[in-house]
Structure 1
Amino acid sequence: MWITFLSVLILQLLTPFWWWIIIIPYLYGAIGARSGWHAFRTGAFSVGLLWLLAAVFFLFTDAQIIVTRVANMVEFLSRPLLLVLTTAIGLICAGCSSLSGYYFSKIIRRPNAKPRDKLESPVEQ
């Protein structure tokens, strides 16, 4: 989890692109995950935690003006609800991305898979 968290954090700080929250968990899911649940959990919690910390930082610094404007624009009554929504969006996107990477790697690395045309039929004997 911490490798994914730190990778996304560093790339978010160094580049202006938001889509690192999709690519890094996808790669983790494809390379390092042990199960589907492990992939989803690691991707979701690492990016969810990162976005929660970023949202709290923006809320308590001079960027709170932007947070208030966004909350007014989407017609939320409270800024904490906007924090929850922001965290949930990052959590779901990264979790699904990591899970997709895990299942893609399972498709690519199928052990002992036989081609369909060479399967033995129990009727042919």
Structure 2
Amino acid sequence: MIMKWIIVAISALVFQLFLPWWSIAIAGFISGVSFIQKPRKAFLNGFFGIFALWSAVSLYIYVVNEGLLAERLAALFSLPHGLLVVLLTSLLGGICGGLSAITGNYFKALFLK
């Protein structure tokens, strides 16, 4: 299961180097089509793969600029701390990845029946 997360995260990272942010949905969709799994596991694989990737990237940006950007965004959205921005960013990415993975899983099921 963790290996599938890593595959989703690496493929999303490669897509994001050349494509816009929503390319994570492409990576999630491909993982949902590629792996033989139940829809719940497809969602979780897509969610945790993208969640881990976006958490790592957000934390890297947070550390490099000493939390300045995250603190300003937190003030803009009336959040108490900048790390909540990092968490929300990761959650939104994870939800997008999970929904695209389950969509890919259901798309594959259309053609298998």
Which residues of structure 2 form unaligned runs of 5+?
none
1:91: Cα distance to partner?
Answer: 1.2
Separation in structure 2 between the aligned mates of residue 16 and residue 77 of structure 1, nearest angstrom: 32
Q: Give 1:4's match in structure 2, choosing from 8, 25, 37.
A: 8
Normalising by structure 2, we get a TM-score of 0.87
1:47 paired with 2:50, answer: yes
1:63: Cα distance to partner?
Answer: 6.5
Q: Which residue of 1 aligns with 2:25?
A: 22
Normalising by structure 1, we get a TM-score of 0.79
Q: Which runs of 4+ in 1 moved over 3 A?
A: none
Summarize the Cα distance change of 1:16–1:108 in structure 2 as closer, same or farther, 3 Å threshold.
closer
Which residues of structure 1 form unaligned runs of 5+?
111-125
Q: Give 1:99's match in structure 2, choosing from 94, 98, 102.
A: 102
Identical amino acids, percent of aligned pairs: 27
**Bigger proportion of residues as helix:** 2
Q: Which residue of 2 aligns with 1:80?
A: 83
RMSD: 1.5
Q: Paired residues, what number? A: 109
Separation in structure 2 between the aligned mates of residue 95 and residue 66 of structure 1, nearest angstrom: 27
Separation in structure 2 between the aligned mates of residue 75 and residue 101 of structure 1, nearest angstrom: 36
Separation in structure 2 between the aligned mates of residue 97 and residue 9 of structure 1, nearest angstrom: 16
Summarize the Cα distance change of 1:63–1:27 in structure 2 as closer, same or farther, 3 Å threshold.
farther
Q: Give 1:32's match in structure 2, choosing from 25, 32, 35.
A: 35
Summarize the Cα distance change of 1:29–1:23 in structure 2 as closer, same or farther, 3 Å threshold.
same
